[in-house]
A and B are shown apart, each in its own frame.
Chain A
Amino acid sequence: DAGVIQSPRHEVTEMGQEVTLRCKPISGHDYLFWYRQTMMRGLELLIYFNNNVPIDDSGMPEDRFSAKMPNASFSTLKIQPSEPRDSAVYFCASSHPTGPQHFGDGTRLSIL
């Protein structure tokens, strides 16, 4: 059974460029989460979806960040324009309503 799949695994780009991170949740999971992990702040929830609808985006740091879930099997997190302080590992997770969250392997993002 495939887990949560994220792409790319690594992304290096110059500041000002648009970055798009992708996530395929586990089939049948109603919830999808985007997290950011940094050494200074640990793991932070950015946004989550229930049945493709964004429920809480209060963790999104600023307007440069946006997330979409056009269907039950795909979500994107976009940063435009990117800045060096956006460098972090971004995780996607999915779950049933009351079950444990299952995480992807993350995207390691470096903004130069």
Chain B
Amino acid sequence: KQEVTQIPAALSVPEGENLVLNCSFTDSAIYNLQWFRQDPGKGLTSLLLIQSSQREQTSGRLNASLDKSSGRSTLYIAASQPGDSATYLCAVITGANNLFFGTGTRLTVIP
């Protein structure tokens, strides 16, 4: 069964710093990988979706990379802002359109 791990579980950085969140998965036979943001009391907001044939996706200050062979993905956030404070989840999607989620990284950006 696919297992998805996110490190670190929590991260606190000063405003303006660049940061990297890590995601690893055990089965490289994935269809794509999705990064989400979760704010308290809210549903998950999809940030970036990387197809299995792609190596990275960018949206604004966010850049996500995917290395299927090593079972790793990273989410890079440039010039962090207090509004980026949230829990970030990665999920891998199998060919059956099932999502396997990591446990998340709780990010706090300190003004």
Is A105 touching B41 in the complex (CB atoms < 8 A)?
A: yes
Give Cα A4–Cα B89 distance, bound, in whole angstroms: 19
| Contact of A104 with B43 at beta-carbon distance under 8 Å, contacts A42-B104, A43-B89 already known | yes
Chain B residues contacting A50 (CB-CB under 8 Å) are: 97
Give Cα A4–Cα B49 distance, bound, in whole angstroms: 19
Number of interface residues of B (CB under 8 A): 20
Is A101 touching B41 in the complex (CB atoms < 8 A)?
A: no
Give the A-B pair count, Cβ closer than 8 A.
Answer: 50
**B25 close to chain A: CB less than 8 A:** no
In chain B, what residue has the closest Cβ to A103? B43
Give Cα A42–Cα B31 distance, bound, in whole angstroms: 21
Report A88-109 CB contacts with B as 1/0, cut-off 8 Å.
0001010101111111111010
Is A97 touching B97 in the complex (CB atoms < 8 A)?
A: yes
* B1-44 contacts to A (CB < 8 Å): 31-32, 34, 36, 41-44
Is A4 touching B103 in the complex (CB atoms < 8 A)?
A: no
Give Cα A14–Cα B103 distance, bound, in whole angstroms: 29
Q: Which residues of A are interface residues toward B (Cβ below 8 A)?
A: 4, 31, 33, 42-45, 48, 50, 55-56, 91, 93, 95, 97-106, 108
> Can you list 20 A-B contacts with CB-CB less than 8 angstroms, sorted by A residue number?
A4-B43, A33-B99, A42-B101, A42-B102, A43-B44, A45-B98, A45-B99, A55-B96, A95-B97, A98-B32, A99-B49, A100-B49, A101-B34, A101-B46, A102-B46, A103-B44, A104-B43, A105-B43, A106-B43, A108-B41
Q: Which residues of B are interface residues toward A (Cβ below 8 A)?
A: 31-32, 34, 36, 41-46, 49, 89, 96-99, 101-104
New contact pairs (20) apart from A99-B49, A106-B42, CB-CB < 8 Å: A31-B97, A33-B99, A42-B101, A42-B102, A42-B104, A45-B99, A48-B97, A48-B98, A55-B97, A56-B98, A93-B43, A93-B44, A97-B97, A100-B49, A101-B46, A101-B99, A103-B43, A103-B46, A105-B41, A108-B41
